[in-house]
Structure 1
Amino acid sequence: MRTNFRSWMLALPLTVVLALFLLLPMVMIFVVSFWGATEFSIYPAFQFDNYSYLFGSSVVWSVFASTLMYTIVTWVVTLVVGFTVAYFLAFHIRDTTTQMGLFLLCTIPFWTSNIIRMISWVPFLGRNGLANQALMGMGITDEPLEWLLFSDFSVILAFVHLYTLFMVVPIFNTMVRIDRSLIEAARDNGASGFQILTNVIIPLTKPGIMIGSIFVVALVMGDFITVRFMSGSQSANVGRLISNDIGLLQYPSAAATSVVLLVTVMIVISIMLRFVNIRKEL
């Protein structure tokens, strides 16, 4: 009995912090999502006008579709790049010091803010930027490519640049813990490199892949500043929709959109978790 009481007391501070700074704000957002608003005021009420507008607007559906498109494409690209980088570091770099040095090298972009990293793409991808100048210099194109900047391509490129490391870290952490004797046993039994990859390495790396995927999906679906900067305000996602409502002081509408976005993210993550039991695997 004393042990249980001590355990509860140890967990109490964290429980209070989570309740005050996580659960309570989420409950408040949920409550405010049912309130009403005019051009000049917000009034407490219990109505479904905000949700009716969300689910009845073709514009909102289009924004959610764009958000889902950004998320899927970014997830696929970051998974391929992240898995490749992690595989190279874990299995092709034998020296631990070199391995850690190259791994830390991947974190250099995080030494600056996201906004600075996004802005750095503008002079590179612009009409008179380095990319267009190089393409025209090599004779690949006769005129600057307009779609390199302020387009869906630039948005996804920025997402990949910003969030690939969130895929590399958990996959690399899982790969370095794989027992090398399993790989040697598979090779001794005549397995090819591709068979070892698909039947040994990838199944054992599933927890890392899933953790990285959760990070990337949650970050991309909640991001709004990247879409605003890299699309030149020509595209939108759900995060930007919420930001615009807040800027217009339409807090009930922003709260309703936040609730729908949160539920969507939770559904996506719950579907992903059905493919692997992270707690059991780790």
Structure 2
Amino acid sequence: MSTPTSPPQAERPRGGLSAWAQATPFTLVFVLFLVLPLVLVAIVSFWRATDYELIPAFTAQNYIEVFNGCGSTSELCVTLKTYLSTLKFCFLVWLITLVIGFVVAYFLAFHVRSVGAQTLLFILCTIPFWTSNVIRMISWVPLLGRNGVVNQALIGANVIETPIEWLLFSDFSVVLAFVHLYTMFMIVPIFNSMMRIDRALLEAARDNGATGWQTVWNVIVPLCRTGIVIGSIFVITIVMGDFVTIGVMGGQQIASVGKIIQVQTSYLQFPMAAANAVILLIVTLMMIWGLTKLVDIRKEL
């Protein structure tokens, strides 16, 4: 009885070489545009700087100055207050975009039966992305300003007597702009996960007496974990490093880590900015790591 023979030894290296050749271009792009810039930022974070030059000498002074004053008093230092402010915006935007994104995706996936209608509604959702983020942010100013449309309408309807000050250049306007800009990043992955759900599971849940809310919570939400985690990663990474939205909608009065880095680079304090960027990157990666522990994204995809 003959036994199966292994492939010829000469063919194995060719398969391995072909795989390496195919992976090389993507590896080079990954190294040149992601790994190398991050390594350079980390290196610069240990340099010293004067008013006139950068000194490539290893020192941890930049990281010490970032946390200068932390722990010496009972009050929080500036760095911790800034991170708490950034995390506050991140959490609020994540929560609101998650709720809106889930509701919109649920409507498109389970209530819009026609593929053509789903496509049309998706195009309508993406139309705002055809314009600049800055233009979309500025469009809120004539609506929310002291003499804006909202205040004038409320005054005209005798709802308020004086304009509402906190509608613009406040935490409210920053969160509103974030939600307006980035909700789509939550809708798309959740909708993609919902479209993969076998409709027979929903029928089985209803046949077993499950209510609509029970079906959503016990069937749809667990099967959408991958989309929720991916959308959360998108929103969290963008909001954590954003400085344009906070600067424009906060009236340059609200602090964030991204804003501090932008100010430091504008004053040519590159080592300090790099140190803050490394710390921000570590904090963001820890948050992403926590999310990836909820679901194995590679296995689900």
- Equivalences for 1:5-84 in 2 at 5 Å? 5-57=17-69, 58-84=77-103
**In angstroms, what is the RMSD of aligned CA positions?**
0.9
Which of 182, 190, 215 is the aligned partner of 1:196?
215
In the alignment, is residue 170 of structure 1 matched against residue 182 of structure 2? no
Tell me, which stretches of 5 or more residues in structure 2 are unaligned?
Answer: 1-12, 70-76
Cα distance in 1 for partners of 2:269, 2:286 equals 26
Which of 224, 248, 257 is the aligned partner of 2:243?
224
- Equivalences for 1:76-225 in 2 at 5 Å? 76-225=95-244
Deviations 1:55-79 (A, max 9, x none): 2241122111111011000000000
Cα distance in 1 for partners of 2:28, 2:191 equals 34
Aligned-partner residue type, residue 236 of structure 1? A
Q: Tell me how far 1:139 sits from its aligned partner.
A: 2.6
Cα distance in 2 for partners of 1:70, 1:40 equals 36
Aligned-partner residue type, residue 36 of structure 1? R
**Secondary structure, counterpart of 2:245 in structure 1:** helix
Deviations 1:95-123 (A, max 9, x none): 11111111111111101000000000000
Aligned-partner residue type, residue 213 of structure 1? S
**Secondary structure, counterpart of 1:94 in structure 2:** coil
Cα distance in 2 for partners of 1:134, 1:89 equals 33
Aligned-partner residue type, residue 274 of structure 1? K
Aligned-partner residue type, residue 184 of structure 1? E
Aligned-partner residue type, residue 49 of structure 1? Q
Q: Tell me how far 1:213 sits from its aligned partner.
A: 0.2
Query: Which structure shows the bigger proportion of residues in helix conformation?
Result: 1
Cα distance in 2 for partners of 1:268, 1:143 equals 42
Aligned-partner residue type, residue 135 of structure 1? L
Cα distance in 2 for partners of 1:86, 1:266 equals 27
In the alignment, is residue 246 of structure 1 matched against residue 258 of structure 2? no
In the alignment, is residue 276 of structure 1 matched against residue 295 of structure 2? yes
| Larger Cα-atom Rg | 2
Deviations 1:212-234 (A, max 9, x none): 00000000001100000001111
**Secondary structure, counterpart of 2:81 in structure 1:** helix
Q: Tell me how far 1:138 sits from its aligned partner.
A: 2.6
Cα distance in 2 for partners of 1:272, 1:133 equals 43
User: Could you tell me which residue of structure 1 aligns to residue 74 of structure 2?
Assistant: none
Cα distance in 1 for partners of 2:175, 2:84 equals 15
Cα distance in 1 for partners of 2:79, 2:97 equals 27
Give the TM-score of the pair, scaled to structure 2. 0.92
Q: Tell me how far 1:235 sits from its aligned partner.
A: 0.5
Moved over 2 A (4+): 137-140
Cα distance in 2 for partners of 1:130, 1:48 equals 51
Q: Tell me how far 1:185 sits from its aligned partner.
A: 0.7
Cα distance in 2 for partners of 1:231, 1:29 equals 28
Greater mean deviation of Cα atoms: 61-70 or 145-154: 61-70
Cα distance in 2 for partners of 1:169, 1:162 equals 14
Identical pairs, percent: 56
Deviations 1:14-40 (A, max 9, x none): 111211221111111101000111222
Cα distance in 1 for partners of 2:121, 2:22 equals 39
